[in-house]
Structure 1
Amino acid sequence: MAELPAPDPRSDPWARLRQATRARIGLGGCGDALPLREVLAFQMAHALARDAVHAPLDVAALEAVLHPYAALRARSRAADRGTYLRRPDLGRRLEAMDAAEGPFDAAFVLADGLSATAVQRHAAAVFHAALRRLPGWRIAPPVIATGARVALGDEIGARLGARLVAVLIGERPGLSVPDSLGVYLTFDPRPGRRDSERNCISNIHTAGGLAPELAAAKLAWLMREALSRKLTGNGLKDDADPAALAAPTFALPDG
Structure 2
Amino acid sequence: MASPPATPASATEAHLLLVEDDEVIRNTVRMLLERYGFTVSAAADGMSGLEMFRERRPDLLLLDVMLPELDGIGLCRRIRELSLAPILMMSARGDALDVVSGLEAGADDYVVKPVESAVLVARIRSLLRRASFTPAHSQAGASGAGSHARGGDTTTLTFGDLTIDTRGMEVHRAGQPLALTPTELRMLLEFAASPGVVLERRTLLSRVWDHAWHGDTRVVDLHVQRLRAKIGAERIETVRGFGYKLRR
**Superposition TM-score, scaled by structure 1 size:** 0.32
> Which entry has the higher C-alpha Rg, 1 or 2?
1
In terms of fraction of residues, the more helix-rich structure is: 2
**Superposition TM-score, scaled by structure 2 size:** 0.32
In terms of fraction of residues, the more strand-rich structure is: 2
Highest RCO, 1 vs 2 (Cα 8 Å, sep ≥ 6): 1
